[in-house]
């Protein structure tokens, strides 16, 4: 099974025998002890110190959520056909695809199509939950696409602006 | 006498007010926007009324619809909570003109204090110390530039009608001033409906210390001591405590009496908060008055034993404040954490989604003012506060330790939360030593604390074990002979409080 966490893909397999849990992680094997657990709470102890810690779990269609003492880890479920998924595809060094941080409203567009920008230049201001966020250029280049207008409502997957490095 | 109240708010504060009303036998009407139809506050009220579509301007800020809802349901009062219409003096007047009681101050002091510029002028006249800056708001950028040049940078842009850090910008140098003023105007316009902003000197490394006050219609005014709210991100408080680590009896008395002076100068007649900045030499400057019940009011309730919402209702009823200043005492120490749906690793970006699992913390001295339940949807339309966790201890360190434990036991799955970040703040040596300045987060919390490897490995293991057990359960259910999971694991948190 593959899980994605903070841009890393983890190839994991877990086998359980009595209280011994073994985690195969990217080819390496780690051992845990499983204590009294619930369907959505797993009590696990690593073999080095033997102390049990409680991990609460839940899922939706595309994520698994794990909470350990207030620290929430969100894993993306990786489907087999997405094996070639490259997190940085949209931000390779030659092209920057600007997406909103979350669904929101466009406040102001600060660049025009065809304009040259430098890394760190402000491109666009988006508002969500009454908070303005300014998105900046991450490369030096030329604005090749501006796909939105001021006060337009956008979803999180809307490509707002594309900056391309000039050859 | 108030018999039935419409609560013109949502989430945890609406639930908090409903609880106070129920305690004193007042019936409650909750209001909600279309996306909030299943929100906790709607389920908690005796009755509920839909007031419009999701955007706040069309629902929670829609004055006419809210007043009509109160009249239609035979309410005799409206409680505005905090945020939304709480400090809107037009709304305050309209409520009264409709023959209803507004649970809050008279519109005149509200209007006066709601304008940071007008309240500054009043304080100057009354001999209350204020921070140097522009005397009035302006639309003229050159006026901002002139004042900033005279005082020197850094400067702070503030919204006249502002609060909660909305419409506020720190400007370090001149070439950033224009952009900051314009941005603050836009944000203020969208949050408060007014684009009036002004500029003042930015005091570096100050503490934010505020005094809770209460004043009635009979000329009595008291202070219920301070709260320190220096731990802020984006100028919005996230950790608040009482007493302030910097407080001593003389400073407390002097600031408290100044706060009462402020209340009297403005003819204030409700519960409210006078905010001050305290610099490193313990000089204090008046900032503003929050003419409403505040987010962090429980910290005062925990240390004084006084229910501020009930006191606010009693004052609105025309009753006298039943306490004398000299009878009031601050006992022990309380700290509050605001639990937001946000990603502390990603510049506190709000996080939306569904609460898939919720376990509320409990234990001695632990109070959880909650606005969600398991299954709640957190939409992008409103401030993403989920709950407030308030803890009392005999001293600061006991409160701090209890709070850390309670935060660890507050399991929320489905959205990102600020919980881990707040644990890190509370465990920081500078917090432990009481070195809480308003730049605490920028100064101390910049570096991400690395997560021990065993946690990631254990979490991966738990994730896979969970998926495996989910598959097994599904298989059992499909055969039709499976045991149902215990309802206590799936029902989430419920409070039985309807008195229909």
Secondary structure of residue A124 in the 3-state scheme: strand
**Spatial separation of the C-alpha atoms in residues B124 and A63, rounded to whole Å:** 56
What is the pLDDT, as a whole number, of residue A67?
A: 96
Tens digit of pLDDT for each residue in B40-67?
A: 999 999 999 999 999 999 999 999 999 9
- Based on the residue annotation, tell me whether B19 is a catalytic residue of this protein: no
Residue of B396 and A165 predicted with greater confidence: B396
* Interface mutation vs chain B, best among A5, A67, A150, most B CBs within 10 Å: A67
Place of tokens 């005014």: B221
State the pLDDT confidence band at A82, using cuts at 50, 70 and 90: very low
Return the pLDDT at A89. Answer: 43
Best to test chain A binding among B56, B463, B473 (most A CBs inside 10 Å): B463
List CB contacts (< 8 A) between A53 and chain B. Answer: 455, 458
Q: What is the pLDDT of residues B125-171, one digit of tens each?
A: 999 999 888 877 888 899 999 999 988 899 999 888 876 678 889 99
CATH architecture of B4-103: 3-Layer(aba) Sandwich (3.40)
CB of B406 within 8 Å of any CB in chain A? no
User: Given an 8 Å threshold on Cβ–Cβ distance, is A103 in contact with B352?
Assistant: yes
Say yes or no for a CB contact (<8 Å) between B350 and A102: yes
Residue B24 DSSP one-character state: T
Show residues of chain B in contact with A56, CB under 8 Å. 357, 359, 411, 413
By C-alpha distance, the chain A residue nearest B409 is A69
Question: Cα separation of B80 and B17, whole Å?
Answer: 10
- Going by their DSSP bridges, the two strands B271-278 and B284-290 should be labelled as antiparallel
Q: What is the pLDDT of residues B382-413, one digit of tens each?
A: 999 999 999 999 999 999 999 999 999 999 99
Q: Which residue has the higher pLDDT, B361 or B476?
A: B361
Q: B462 and A128: CB-CB below 8 Å?
A: no
Q: In the predicted model, what is the mean pLDDT of chain B?
A: 92
Share of chain B above pLDDT 70, in %: 94
Which of B189 and B329 is assigned the larger pLDDT?
Answer: B329
CB B143, CB B150: distance < 8 Å: no
Looking at CA atoms only, how far is residue B469 from chain A in angstroms? 7
Where residue B103 falls among pLDDT bands split at 50, 70, 90?
A: very high
Cβ contact A143:A117 at 8 Å: yes
**Confidence (pLDDT) at A41:** 95
In this chain, the answer to whether the domains covering B132-201 and B207-444 adopt an identical fold is no
Quick check: B461 and A44 CB within 8 A?
yes
- Strands B27-32 and B47-50 come out as parallel
State in Å, rounded, how far the first CA of chain B is from the last one: 21
Q: Tell me how close the Cα of A14 comes to any Cα of chain B, in angstroms.
A: 7
Q: Is the pTM of this model over 0.90?
A: no
What residues of A are in contact with residue B473 (Cβ under 8 Å)? Answer: 39
B363-380 average pLDDT score: 95
Q: pLDDT by residue (tens digit) across B242-280?
A: 999 999 999 999 999 999 999 999 999 999 999 999 988
Instruction: Give residue B64's pLDDT.
Output: 97
pLDDT digits (tens, 9 = 90+) for A103-130: 888 989 999 999 999 888 889 988 877 6
Contact (Cβ atoms closer than 8 angstroms) between residue A78 and residue A2: yes
CATH for the stretch A2-82: 2.40.128
Written as one string, the DSSP assignment of B416-449 is -BSHHHHHHHHHSHHHHTT---TTHHHHHS-SPP
- pLDDT interval class at B329 (50, 70, 90): very high
Mean pLDDT of A82-91: 43
CA distances from residue B471 to B458, B475, B478 in whole angstroms, order as listed: 20, 6, 11
Q: Go through B96-107 and write b for each residue having 16 or more CB atoms within 10 A of its CB, e for each that does not.
A: eeeebbbbbbbb
pLDDT of B194 reads: 86
* Res A92: pLDDT: 58
| CB nearest to B489's CB, from A39, A65, A68 | A39
Quick one: pLDDT band at residue A80, thresholds 50, 70, 90? low
- Helix, coil or strand: residue B280: coil
- The whole-angstrom distance between residue B316's C-alpha and the CA centroid of its chain comes to 21
For residues B339-351, give the mean pLDDT: 90
pLDDT tens for A52-76 read 999 999 999 889 999 999 999 999 9
Chain pair A-B, CB pairs under 8 angstroms: 161
Which pLDDT score, from 0 to 100, does residue B473 have?
66
Nearest Cα of chain A lies from the Cα of B265 at a distance, in angstroms, of 33
Instruction: Tell me the ipTM for this assembly.
Output: 0.82
In angstroms, the Cα distances linking A1 to A61, A164, B464, B473 are 15, 36, 8, 19
pLDDT at B297 > cutoff 80: yes
Q: What is residue A95's predicted lDDT score, i.e. its pLDDT? A: 86
Residue B499 confidence (pLDDT) above 50: no
Phi/psi for A21 (5° steps) reads -115, 130
Q: What is the dihedral of CA B189, B190, B192, B195, to 10 degrees?
A: -10
CATH topology (fold) of A89-164: OB fold (Dihydrolipoamide Acetyltransferase, E2P) (2.40.50)
Selected from 3.30.470.20, 3.40.50.720, 3.30.470.10, 3.90.950.10, the CATH number assigned to the domain covering B207-444 reads: 3.30.470.20
**Is the per-residue pLDDT at B355 higher than 90?**
yes
Q: Give the domain ranges of chain A.
A: 2-82, 89-164
Mean pLDDT of B460-474: 86
Please state, in angstroms and rounded to a whole number, the distance separating the CA atoms of residues B4 and B10: 17
Residue A85 has pLDDT above 50, yes or no: no
A10–B410: do the CB atoms touch at under 8 Å? no
Q: Which residues contact A96 (CB under 8 A, 6 or more apart)?
A: A90, A137, A138, A139, A141, A162, A163, A164
- The residue extents of the domains of chain B are 4-103, 132-201, 207-444
The domain made up of B132-201 is a member of CATH 3.30.1490.20: yes
């Amino acid at each position: 099974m593959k899980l994605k966490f903070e841009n890393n893909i983890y190839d994991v397999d877990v086998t359980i025998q009595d209280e011994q849990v073994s985690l195969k992680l990217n080819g390496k094997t780690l051992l845990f002890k499983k204590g009294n657990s619930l369907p959505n709470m797993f009590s696990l102890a690593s073999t080095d110190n033997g102390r049990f810690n409680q991990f609460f779990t839940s899922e939706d269609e595309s994520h698994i959520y794990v909470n350990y003492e207030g620290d929430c880890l969100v894993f993306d479920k990786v489907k087999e056909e997405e094996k070639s998924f490259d997190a940085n595809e949209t931000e390779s060094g030659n092209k920057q695809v600007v997406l909103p941080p979350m669904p929101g409203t466009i406040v102001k567009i600060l660049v025009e199509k065809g304009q040259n920008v430098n890394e760190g230049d402000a491109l666009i201001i988006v508002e969500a939950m009454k908070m303005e966020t300014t998105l900046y250029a991450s490369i030096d280049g030329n604005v090749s696409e501006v796909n939105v207008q001021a006060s337009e409502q956008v979803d999180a997957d809307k490509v707002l602006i594309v900056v391309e490095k000039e050859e | 006498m108030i018999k039935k109240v419409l609560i013109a708010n949502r989430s945890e504060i609406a639930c908090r007010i409903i609880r106070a009303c129920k305690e004193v036998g007042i019936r409650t009407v909750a209001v909600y926007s279309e996306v909030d139809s299943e929100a906790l506050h709607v389920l908690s009220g005796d009755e509920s009324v839909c007031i419009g579509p999701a955007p706040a301007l069309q629902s929670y800020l829609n004055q006419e619809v809210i007043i009509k809802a109160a009249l239609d349901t035979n309410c005799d009062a409206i409680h505005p909570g905090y945020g939304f219409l709480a400090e809107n003096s037009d709304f305050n007047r309209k409520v009264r003109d409709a023959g209803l009681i507004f649970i809050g101050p008279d519109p005149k002091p509200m209007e006066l204090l709601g304008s940071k510029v007008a309240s500054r002028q009043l304080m100057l006249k009354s001999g209350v110390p204020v921070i140097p800056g522009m005397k009035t708001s302006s639309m003229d950028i050159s006026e901002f530039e002139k004042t900033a040049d005279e005082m020197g940078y850094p400067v702070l842009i503030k919204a006249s009608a502002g609060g909660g850090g909305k419409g506020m910008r720190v400007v370090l140098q001149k070439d950033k001033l224009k952009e900051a003023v314009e941005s603050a105007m836009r944000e203020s316009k969208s949050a408060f409906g007014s684009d009036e902003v002004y500029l003042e000197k930015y005091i570096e490394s100050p503490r934010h210390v505020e005094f809770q006050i209460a004043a009635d219609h009979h000329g009595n005014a008291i202070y219920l001591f301070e709260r320190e709210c220096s731990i802020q991100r984006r100028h919005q408080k996230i950790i608040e405590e009482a007493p302030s680590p910097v407080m001593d009896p003389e400073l407390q008395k002097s600031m408290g009496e100044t706060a009462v002076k402020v209340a009297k100068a403005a003819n204030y007649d409700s519960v409210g908060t006078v905010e001050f900045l305290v610099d490193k030499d313990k000089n204090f400057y008046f900032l503003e008055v929050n003419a409403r019940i505040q987010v962090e009011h429980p910290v005062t309730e925990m240390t004084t034993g006084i229910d501020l919402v009930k006191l606010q209702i009693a004052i609105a009823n025309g009753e006298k404040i039943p306490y004398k200043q000299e009878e009031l005492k601050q006992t022990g120490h309380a700290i509050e954490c605001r639990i937001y749906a946000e990603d502390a690793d990603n510049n506190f970006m709000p996080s939306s989604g569904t609460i898939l699992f919720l376990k509320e913390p409990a234990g001695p001295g632990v109070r959880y003012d909650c606005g969600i339940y398991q299954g709640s949807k957190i939409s992008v339309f409103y401030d993403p506060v989920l709950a407030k966790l308030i803890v009392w201890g005999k001293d600061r360190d006991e409160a701090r330790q209890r709070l850390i434990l309670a935060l660890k036991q507050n399991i929320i799955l489905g959205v990102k939360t600020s919980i881990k970040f707040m644990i890190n703040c509370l465990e920081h040596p500078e917090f432990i030593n009481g070195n809480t300045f308003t730049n605490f987060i920028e100064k101390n919390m910049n570096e991400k604390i690395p997560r021990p490897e065993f946690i990631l490995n254990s979490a991966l293991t738990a994730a896979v074990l969970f998926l495996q057990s989910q598959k097994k359960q599904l298989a059992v259910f499909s055969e039709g002979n499976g045991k149902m999971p215990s309802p206590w694991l799936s029902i989430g948190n419920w409070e039985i409080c309807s008195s229909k």
